[in-house]
């Protein structure tokens, strides 16, 4: 059985636009891929060829995104001009694969599912198994009969790999799950547990590792009683992994109490199995690097929309173009980034920029004879004028090139962070040093003070 967690760095493949930053030389930037089920629903053949060929059989798992069906169905509807109001095609594919009770409630009645829809054990089990079947087979089924299948047969004959098709399977399975707030516990917690129990049997019979995905609202971080209620419900599932996602929780804006609550939660889940934070920033990585949460196996993040995520809307997100400042471990609006680079004396000359700001592959390409002028390439924008209610409105948008440069730089910075091996003291020193930038960018640097305070006390 291949390892469930391939390394400490997981990237979420959220939109087709992400592909550019996952392939080629970027393959070296991360260890494992989290694939959204709706991406597979969107273009299964394309995903299959991506996984098998262009990703060079990189380890992956599928987030079944079952929580999408407990929110208002309006989040599942298309926004397109001609298709507005219809359930998105990628979601329809998922609904078909997941079957009842989703098809009936969502497609026919246009209402979200409730836990009552799963009261019948046979329905519950059939649904659970279909969700797991989808993860296990979506890529394999596409490959069967294709050229890639012949290639895998060839590898097998040549004895290059014992079982090459194993690469087409996800590294582990994720039990169906629904989102929990303090108010939703009575409705969904027990059902989540039952899904995990069914999934455990399924995973065993397929010789697979099992993950439970726990998606919580931020309130849990401030309430240890509620946290214990959730953790204890999952203790008996026998899951190998716990994937944690706190909705709309940004480690960058969190206060100390929330961060302690978060650490406590990760440690408690560590009593069940290996833990993965599905949307984490450098703070989570620092917890791992400093050995403060021993069972934290990996931290995941997306590409353009940052390191935290709300449960709705499901998938996608509005891309923003910001420059990731390695010293602050956060993205800043371009103008703020310029202030920080100046403060760090990064505009003095090329070598100073590389030493004090960033020496990643992208920066080395851009920063040449005049760092200040060259740095502006990260902030290039264009004016777009459009008419709203008879009035002309001009808006500044980053150019596509500028956005791509920012994402590329972000990917290389993240690779360096995840591959670094600082001591806890070195992490604290760096954060305290970075906190001084609060004089330059105010609250944009405040997390450095908060993080170092929390890490120091752990
Ligand atoms: Zn860089």
pLDDT the model gives residue 41: 80
Output the CA 57–ligand 1 centroid distance in Å: 28
pLDDT the model gives residue 316: 45
Output the CA 323–ligand 1 centroid distance in Å: 9
Output the CA 413–ligand 1 centroid distance in Å: 6
Share above pLDDT 90 across residues of the chain, in percent, rounded to a whole number = 71
Output the CA 87–ligand 1 centroid distance in Å: 40
Identify the DSSP state of 302: -
Burial (0-12, 13-18, 19+ Cβ within 10 Å), 352: middle
Lowest model confidence (mean pLDDT) among 54-58, 263-267, 368-372: 54-58
Output the CA 427–ligand 1 centroid distance in Å: 20
Query: pLDDT digit string (tens) for 379-415?
Result: 998 887 878 788 887 777 888 899 899 999 999 999 9
Domain 9-301, CATH number (from 3.20.20, 2.60.120, 1.20.1530, 3.30.9): 3.20.20
pLDDT the model gives residue 82: 76
pLDDT the model gives residue 151: 64
Confidence of residue 318 (pLDDT cuts 50, 70, 90): very low
- What is the rounded average pLDDT of the residues 114-122? 96
- What is the rounded average pLDDT of the residues 109-129? 95
Output the CA 356–ligand 1 centroid distance in Å: 11
pLDDT at 320 over 80: no
Output the CA 452–ligand 1 centroid distance in Å: 24
| More reliable by pLDDT, 49 or 269 | 269
Output the CA 445–ligand 1 centroid distance in Å: 19
Output the CA 379–ligand 1 centroid distance in Å: 13
| More reliable by pLDDT, 88 or 435 | 435
Output the CA 412–ligand 1 centroid distance in Å: 7
Output the CA 286–ligand 1 centroid distance in Å: 20
Give the max Cα distance, the chain: 69
Tokens 């990628």 belong to which residue? Answer: 90
Output the CA 408–ligand 1 centroid distance in Å: 8
Output the CA 360–ligand 1 centroid distance in Å: 4
Lowest model confidence (mean pLDDT) among 78-92, 257-271, 439-453: 78-92
Domain ranges of the chain: 9-301, 323-420
Output the CA 366–ligand 1 centroid distance in Å: 9
pLDDT at 256 over 70: yes
Could you give the CA distance from residue 67 to residue 311 in angstroms, rounded to a whole number?
A: 8
pLDDT at 312 over 80: no
| Spatial CB neighbours of 120, under 8 Å, sequence gap ≥ 6 | none
pLDDT the model gives residue 58: 85
| Spatial CB neighbours of 377, under 8 Å, sequence gap ≥ 6 | 366, 401, 402, 405
Q: Do 407 and 414 meet the contact criterion of CB atoms below 8 Å apart?
A: no
Query: pLDDT digit string (tens) for 33-45?
Result: 999 998 888 787 7
Could you give the CA distance from residue 126 to residue 24 in angstroms, rounded to a whole number?
A: 40
pLDDT the model gives residue 66: 96
pLDDT the model gives residue 340: 97
pLDDT at 443 over 70: yes
| More reliable by pLDDT, 177 or 53 | 177
Q: What is the mean pLDDT of the chain?
A: 90
Output the CA 309–ligand 1 centroid distance in Å: 24
pLDDT the model gives residue 39: 86
pLDDT the model gives residue 148: 62
**Residue 75: count of CB within 10 angstroms of its CB:** 16
pLDDT the model gives residue 317: 43
Output the CA 410–ligand 1 centroid distance in Å: 7
Output the CA 28–ligand 1 centroid distance in Å: 16
Output the CA 29–ligand 1 centroid distance in Å: 13
Output the CA 345–ligand 1 centroid distance in Å: 15
Best CA proximity match to 242, nearest among 263, 273, 281: 273
pLDDT the model gives residue 1: 62
- C-alpha distances (whole Å) from 31 to each of 140, 275, 300, 431 are 21, 16, 10, 26
DSSP characters over 73-85: GGGGB--STTTTT
pLDDT at 134 over 50: yes
Lowest model confidence (mean pLDDT) among 2-16, 227-241, 261-275: 2-16
Confidence of residue 306 (pLDDT cuts 50, 70, 90): low
- Pairing mode, strands 330-332 and 391-398: unpaired
Output the CA 362–ligand 1 centroid distance in Å: 5
Output the CA 19–ligand 1 centroid distance in Å: 20
The predicted model scores a pTM of: 0.91
Confidence of residue 159 (pLDDT cuts 50, 70, 90): low
Share above pLDDT 70 across residues of the chain, in percent, rounded to a whole number = 91
């Amino acid at each position: 059985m291949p390892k469930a967690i391939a390394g400490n760095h997981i990237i979420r493949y959220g939109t087709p636009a992400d592909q550019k930053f996952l392939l080629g030389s970027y393959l070296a930037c991360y260890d494992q891929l989290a694939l959204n089920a709706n991406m597979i629903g969107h273009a299964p053949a394309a995903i299959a060829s991506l996984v098998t060929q262009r990703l060079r059989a990189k380890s992956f798992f599928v987030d079944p995104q079952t929580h999408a069906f407990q929110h208002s169905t309006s989040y599942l509807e298309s926004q397109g001009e001609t298709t507005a109001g219809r359930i998105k095609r990628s979601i329809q594919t998922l609904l078909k694969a997941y079957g009842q009770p989703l098809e009936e409630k969502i497609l026919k009645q246009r209402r979200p599912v409730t836990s009552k829809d799963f009261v019948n054990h046979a329905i519950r089990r059939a649904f659970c198994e279909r969700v797991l079947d989808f993860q296990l087979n979506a890529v394999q089924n596409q490959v069967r009969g294709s050229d890639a299948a012949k290639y895998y047969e060839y590898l097998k004959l040549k004895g290059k790999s014992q079982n090459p098709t194993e690469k087409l399977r996800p590294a582990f399975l994720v039990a169906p799950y629904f989102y929990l707030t303090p108010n939703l516990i009575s409705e969904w917690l027990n059902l989540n547990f039952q899904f995990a129990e069914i999934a455990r049997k399924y995973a065993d019979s397929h010789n697979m590792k099992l993950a439970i995905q726990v998606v919580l609202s931020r309130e849990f971080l401030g309430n240890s009683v509620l946290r214990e209620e959730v953790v204890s419900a999952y203790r008996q599932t026998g899951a190998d992994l716990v994937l944690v996602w706190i909705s709309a929780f940004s480690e960058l804006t969190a206060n100390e109490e929330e961060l302690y609550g978060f650490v406590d939660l990760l440690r408690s889940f560590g009593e069940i199995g290996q833990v993965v934070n599905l949307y984490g920033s450098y703070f989570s990585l620092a917890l791992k690097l400093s050995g403060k949460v021993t069972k934290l196996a990996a931290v995941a993040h997306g590409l353009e929309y940052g390191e935290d995520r709300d449960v709705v809307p499901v998938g996608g997100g509005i891309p923003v173009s910001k420059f990731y400042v390695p010293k602050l471990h956060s993205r800043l609006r371009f103008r703020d980034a310029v202030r920080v680079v100046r403060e760090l004396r990064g505009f003095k000359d090329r070598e100073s920029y590389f030493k004090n700001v960033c020496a990643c592959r992208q920066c080395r390409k851009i920063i040449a004879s005049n760092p200040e002028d060259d740095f502006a390439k990260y902030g290039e924008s264009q004016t777009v004028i459009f008419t709203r209610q008879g009035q002309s409105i001009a808006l500044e948008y980053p150019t596509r090139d500028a956005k791509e440069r920012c994402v590329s730089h972000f990917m290389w910075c993240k690779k360096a962070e995840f591959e670094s091996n600082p001591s806890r003291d070195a992490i604290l020193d760096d954060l305290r040093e970075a906190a001084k930038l609060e004089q330059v960018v105010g609250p944009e640097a405040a997390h450095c003070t908060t993080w170092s305070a929390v890490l120091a006390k752990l």
